[in-house]
Structure 1
Amino acid sequence: MTKKGNVDIGIGVNLMTVTEGQRLRLKNGRIGEVTENMGDGQWVEIKFDDSDEPELIHSQDIDAVS
């Protein structure tokens, strides 16, 4: 379940439409900016405000475009 009380059925953001510079919210509540989209529909690289290095994030961990 997400923090909103919704049941997580595995439907997420379509990463094929996400571009660099967009902000994404993860299911754990973290929000970060896309620094690179791998173009495979599953992985993006995101830079979070609390970290110096971008992290590779899988589509299953993304809740919404912020």
Structure 2
Amino acid sequence: MGLESCIRNFSKGKEANFVVLYPTCTPLMRYRMDRTTSLREKLLVLMMLGNDRAVKTYLEGEPAMAK
């Protein structure tokens, strides 16, 4: 498609839409994450305890405004 010059990695100047997860954004999540032993357990903590504080969305490389 010829888009390699503007997408597909995080190099400076590239376009990017992505989500960053913060698995220790609350004291309870930090407590639980410190006691996990597998990726499966970490994902469970994110699914059960995660909220809007645990997710940051970026559009075209810039933080998206919360609505």
Q: Under a length normalisation based on structure 1, what TM-score does the superposition of the two structures give?
A: 0.21
Computing the radius of gyration from Cα coordinates, the structure with the larger value is 2
- By percentage of residues, which structure has more strand? 1
TM-score calculated relative to the size of structure 2: 0.21
Flag the structure with higher helix content: 2
